[in-house]
Each structure stands twice: as structure tokens, then as C-alpha cells.
Amino acid sequence: MREPGETHAGGAAAVPFFRLDGVTKRFGGVIAVEDVVFDLWPGEVHALVGENGAGKSTLMKIVDGLYGPDEGMLEVGGEAVSFSSPREAEAAGIAMIPQELDLFPELSVAENLFVGRKRPRTRWGSLDWEAMQGEARTRLDALGVDLDATSTVKRLSAANQQIVAIARALVGEARAVIMDEPTSSLTEREASQLFGIIEDLTAEGVGVVYISHRLEEVFEISDRITVLRDGHHIETASASDLDVEELVRLMVGRPLHELFTRSASSPGEVALEVRGLTRDGEFEDVSFTLRRGEILGLAGLVGAGRTELAQSVFGIRPADSGEILVGGQEVRVRSPQGAMEKGIFYVPEERRSQGLVLPFSIKNNITLSILEASPGSASCRARSGRPPRGSPKSSRSGGRSSQIPLAGSLAEISRRSSWQRRWPANQGSCCSMSPRGALMSGLSPRSTVSWMTWRRKARPSCSSPRSSKKSSRWPTASW
């Protein structure tokens, strides 16, 4: 464990690479961070932790030049600076890998690495694709990853997209790298590979800010840890002076044993059964049963077929063979609509792109799944060309955004249970891709996950004087 300022080479830096002093940032009436201090020394890993909405991403976006602070200052190398864009931060040696990756899915790996940067040109002035791909390969090799620089990013796994984002951040000569939840979609093996990259970076004197909810890895790689709570700085300490229990207490303001309470559940009859489900090239002969009141975890490495299996049960990519039984009756699920009619719901892995309509408010996102039941809701407003009410969903913290599709699903389920009585006594079951994820989002075994859907069906009550107009500033309802 190194002390701040003590480099790998044993020397000592005189000033931190960057320092935030008394920083406050407000969004309208929301105080995202208030009077926060934070610094990063060359060659250290400084973890930034806190609950969802604590202000971690906002604080680092200030360092990255995305936001200016309302109060307080940022110093780089002992000098006060004021960045007006991430490009200016990059020129000063600061790179950020954001929580929501900002890659261009339709472009290749190599093109992504050069977006917004000077690209190599041939002597005739056109883009030098070979040089770009060569440079991209060098960057990827330096990270020790075997990725084809010509692959289109949207075809890569979440883990490989994360690696492209890291490679992109390192194309400039970064002296400080901010990683915002880099391992949230990585397997343990891929996370260890990332830790190897971090070790190499710090050995070269690069400082790393590491934001993560995975506390065990925070202790594994950090030299210092800073805790934020409700936008306030709570503690900065050497990682060796803290343990998980103390860290959780600092993060949430109460001891660990008061945090997680597990309610006893006794699973009932079989709600969903899958027998020998197969989809060529994706998964083969999968069988399981899910009982009422039960959480069933589906574990496996990235690429093992968990998402494909879930999407198959939900009718997005129907299986080639096998059976699905709901309440003991065989059902044919050929579409998400059909799955929901049978009482099967799904919250997608890519919640921002598949589970939310980002320009819409939280309220309207949640009610999208019950449009038929809600005259005057989001789609009615969309059809009438009027903007949705309420704050845009995109202003929420990363973790909180993830909970909205779940709420939308629960809205549909509660509508069904109260109107159609298909769900006796709230006895839903939950099949989670990640049991830990389900528990961390506060799901109880009685909860049921679903996938929000957007129904096209127009209701007479939705009509408005403008609803017949074809053009609309807002997306029209379609999947």
C-alpha cells in the first residue's frame, strides 16, 4: 500500500495530479454534490464510493470538463483550471470512461478510438484506414486484449465494449484515468484482466479514480477510498484502515446488520417450467422450474446464453425446440406481447436502450406498460405531439435509471393483479440473471420482473385535437 504522493518508483510527487476543493454542483433544485474535496496523486488508485445518487459521477464529470462547478475549484498540477469540455480535460491529461459508455455502435473499434481526435491521413488527404487500424491494434495489444480493430462495436459483448472504451481513453496521453463502474458488465475473469491493466497504468505513474459498487474489488485494487453520501464528502482514508463493514456504514450511515434483512419465503407450486429449450447456436437443452415466491438465479460467463435464454422465454427470439409451461399448461410464446398475456415479464440487460424512452419522464416511462389503462399518459401525449411531463429520465443517476423499467413492469403486474386477478395474492416469481443484482435492487422474492412494453393500440380516450397529425416531435409508439 502506497501513501499519497509516493510513486511506484519510490519517489514522491509534490502536489496531487488534480484536486477538487469545496466543489458544489446543483441541477435546478437538486444538489448533486456540495462542498466536496477530492484529490488524485500520480500512480495511485483512489476509489470513489457511495450509494446510488451519492454524486460520484457528477463529481468526476466536473473533473472531465462536462460540467462546471457552481462553487469551489479544480486544480491540475497545483494550478487552478476551468475546463469547458472533455477535450480540454483530455489535453490536460485527464480521461474518463463514463458509466454509460459513449461509443458509436455503428462504427468499427478503430473508428471509435479516433472519434473527436486527429486521424491519420494519406498524403492525398484522405483518411488513412490502415494507419488507423494499425494504431488501434497497437493500443489493444498494449492492453493485452485480442480484439479485431475492424469489428463493428455493436457486435461486441458488453465486456469488449468496455475494453474499447478503455482503449479510447488511453489513446491520448492520459495521466489520470477516471473509471466509472467499469466492471458492472464484466465477469470475474474480465475484471481481473482490467485490474492487470490498472496495475500497469499505475506502474507508469498514471493515477486512477475507480468508481464501483463492488466493494470487494475496491479493497483489492485501491490505495485510498473516498466516501460520498447524499452529495457530501464523508471520509477519505487509506484502504488498509477500512474494512467492508465500516465502509458500508460510512456509505449508508447505518451499520451493515441493519441493512440487509432477508425475509423467509416458502416457494409454492411451479409457476414456470422450461423443458429442453434449444435455440441453435445460442443454447441447448435447457430445463428449469421456477416456483411461486422464488428467485431463481441464472449464472454463467458472458456469452453463455443467459440473455438469449431469457429472451426466448419472453418470445423475443423464439426457441427452435423445447417446451414452456405456465402454471402446468404448455404455452406457445412467439412474441413479447404473447409472453405478457401468459404472465411472463422481462427487464432487459440493456435498460437504457431497450427498457426506457430516455426523453420521457420517469412517470411516463413507468406508465408506458399500462397505456391502455391510462388515458392522457405518455403515448397519448406522444401521439398528440405534446412533450411528456416531468423531468427527463436521462437526468437520473446510473443506478436509479436501472430501476425504472422494473417499476414499469411492476405497474403492469399490479394492474393485472387488481384488474384481471391473474396474479393471486401477489405470488409472483422472479428469475434473475444475477441473483446479487436482484437482491441489490431491493427485490423481494415476492417481486416479479418484467419487460416494459409499449402498446400501439389507440384508445378513443387518447385522442386530442392534434392527435391526427402525422408529424410529432416525440417518438411514435412502435417496437
Which residues would be at the binding site for Mg ion (CB under 5 A)?
57, 99, 398
Nearer to ligand ATP, 402 or 453 (CB): 402
Task: Report the amino acid identity of residue 70.
Answer: D
Q: Angle at Cα 364 formed by Cα 25 and Cα 434, nearest 5°? A: 80
Q: Does 54 bind ligand ATP (CB under 6 A)?
A: yes
Cα distances from 413 to residues 14, 82, 421, 457, in angstroms, run 59, 49, 10, 19
Beta carbon nearer to ligand ATP, 34 or 412: 34
Strands 232-238 and 79-81: unpaired
Query: Which C-beta is closer to ligand ATP: that of 58 or that of 450?
Result: 58
Of 254 and 400, CB closest to ligand ATP: 400
Q: Give the bridge partners for 225, in sequence order.
A: 47, 237
Lay out the site mask for ligand ATP across 275-314 (x = CB under 6 A, - = otherwise): ----------------------------------------
Q: Would you list the DSSP string of 190-210?
A: HHHHHHHHHHHHHHTT-EEEE
- Please choose which of Mg ion, ligand ATP, none residue 80 contacts, taking the beta carbon within 5 to 8 angstroms, the exact cut-off set by kind: none
Would the CA dihedral through 113, 114, 117, 119 be positive or negative?
positive
Rounded to a whole number of angstroms, the minimum distance from the CB of residue 228 to Mg ion is 10
Contact between 53 and ligand ATP (CB under 6 A)? yes
| Interaction mask 58-97, ligand ATP, x per CB under 6 A | x---------------------------------------
Residue whose C-alpha cell reads 413492469 in the numeric block? 409
Q: Which partner from the list Mg ion, ligand ATP, none does 32 bind, CB cut-off 5 to 8 Å by kind? A: ligand ATP
| C-alpha cell, 323 | 417446451
Footprint on residues 14-33 left by ligand ATP (CB under 6 A) = 27, 30, 32
Task: Figure out which of the listed residues 187, 395, 403, 467 binds ligand ATP, where binding follows CB under 6 A.
Answer: 395
First to last CA, the chain: 52
* Residue 12 vs 30, nearer CB to ligand ATP: 30
Least CB distance from residue 53 to Mg ion, whole Å? Answer: 8
Q: Which of 20, 99, 227, 322 binds ligand ATP (CB under 6 A)?
A: 99
Report the nearest approach of Mg ion to the CB of residue 26 (Å).
17
Specify whether the CB–CB gap between 318 and 334 falls below 8 A: yes
Comparison of 30 and 127: residue with beta carbon closer to ligand ATP: 30
CB of 249 to ligand ATP, least distance (A): 18
Give the list of residues 6+ apart from residue 47 with CB closer than 8 angstroms, or none. Answer: 209, 210, 211, 212, 218, 221, 222, 224, 225, 226, 239
| Residue 473 Ramachandran class (φ > 0 left, ψ -120 to 50 alpha, else beta) | alpha
Q: How many CB atoms lie within 10 A of CB 447?
A: 20
The whole-angstrom separation of Cα 193 and Cα 197 is 7
Which residue lies nearer to ligand ATP by CB, 244 or 299? 244
Is residue 174 a contact partner of residue 91, using CB atoms and an 8 Å limit? Answer: no
Q: Which residues bind ligand ATP (CB under 6 A)?
A: 27, 30, 32, 50, 52-58, 99, 395-400
